[in-house]
């Protein structure tokens, strides 16, 4: 069943994190973003909604990193119930789709909780002051319905990089629910 993102309040501060990549490197928000605006995307390896946008998201990331946007992806899925999302598989997934940004594992699921993430993909764009400027869909395509372009996130990122607030008319992301550990699902 498809899940919609929660659409947390714009202006919220970006929560910090300390998460590992598949090689064991540790990343924090400051290491990823420095003084740049940052996009934090909750994704995983197996979700059809993520698979639908994976290559377009990777292309978007390469283009917008060159424009000054920091990007990080985080997988918070329970690997006991979904071993296809394990860190070793994350490295394979990142290489397969040409990720040029850190892809991190949220083993405790605390970072997903802190961001209010509930689905994959769930996208959060913060300005250079790390205040939430956009949360929602990559674009309005879905698996089996169009080719992903990233139209929505491109408009939002263009505004943030130009020092403007994106339109307040933002549509929630739709995707697979994060696979929570027993007793860990948000209320």
Q: Cα separation of 53 and 57, whole Å?
A: 6
- In this prediction, residues 151-165 reach a mean pLDDT of 98
Tell me the pLDDT tens digit for each residue of 25-54. 999 999 999 999 999 999 999 999 999 999
d(CA 160, CA 76): 26
Q: 50-68, pLDDT tens digit by residue? A: 999 999 999 999 999 999 9
Q: Give the Cα separation of 122 and 177 in Å (integer).
A: 10
What per-residue confidence (pLDDT) applies to 103? 98
**pLDDT of amino acid 187:** 80
pLDDT at position 179 = 97
pLDDT at 85 (0 to 100): 97
Please tell me the CATH superfamily of domain 3-15+32-177, with its number: Glutaredoxin (3.40.30.10)
Lowest mean pLDDT among 2-16, 88-102, 143-157: 2-16
pLDDT of residue 21: 97
The Cα 11–Cα 3 span in angstroms is: 23
- How high is the pLDDT of residue 6? 87
- Is the overall model pTM greater than 0.85, yes or no? yes
d(CA 14, CA 37): 11
At residue 1, does pLDDT exceed 70? no
The tokens of 159 are what?
């505004």
- The predicted pLDDT at position 116 comes to 96
Read off the pLDDT of each residue in 159-184 and give the average, rounded to a whole number: 96
Q: Give the residue from 10, 2, 21, 5 showing the smallest Cα distance to 129.
A: 10
DSSP state of 45: S
Average pLDDT over residues 132-148: 96
């Amino acid at each position: 069943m498809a899940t919609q993102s929660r659409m947390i309040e714009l202006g919220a501060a970006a929560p910090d994190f300390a998460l590992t990549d598949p090689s064991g490197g540790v990343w924090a928000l400051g290491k990823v973003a420095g003084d740049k605006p940052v996009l934090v995307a909750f994704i995983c390896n197996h979700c059809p909604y993520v698979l639908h946008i994976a290559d377009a998201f990777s292309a978007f990331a390469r283009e917008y990193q060159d424009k000054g946007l920091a990007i990080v992806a985080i997988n918070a899925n329970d690997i006991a119930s979904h071993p296809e999302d394990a860190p070793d598989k994350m490295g394979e997934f990142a290489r397969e789709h040409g990720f040029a940004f850190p892809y991190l594992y949220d083993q405790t699921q605390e970072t997903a909780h802190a961001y209010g993430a509930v689905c994959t993909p769930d996208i959060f764009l913060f300005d250079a002051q790390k205040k939430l400027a956009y949360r929602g869909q990559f674009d309005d395509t879905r698996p089996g319905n169009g080719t992903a372009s990233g139209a929505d996130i491109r408009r939002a990122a263009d505004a943030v990089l130009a020092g403007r607030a994106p339109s307040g008319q933002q549509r929630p992301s739709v995707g697979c629910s994060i696979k929570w550990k027993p007793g860990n699902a948000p209320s």
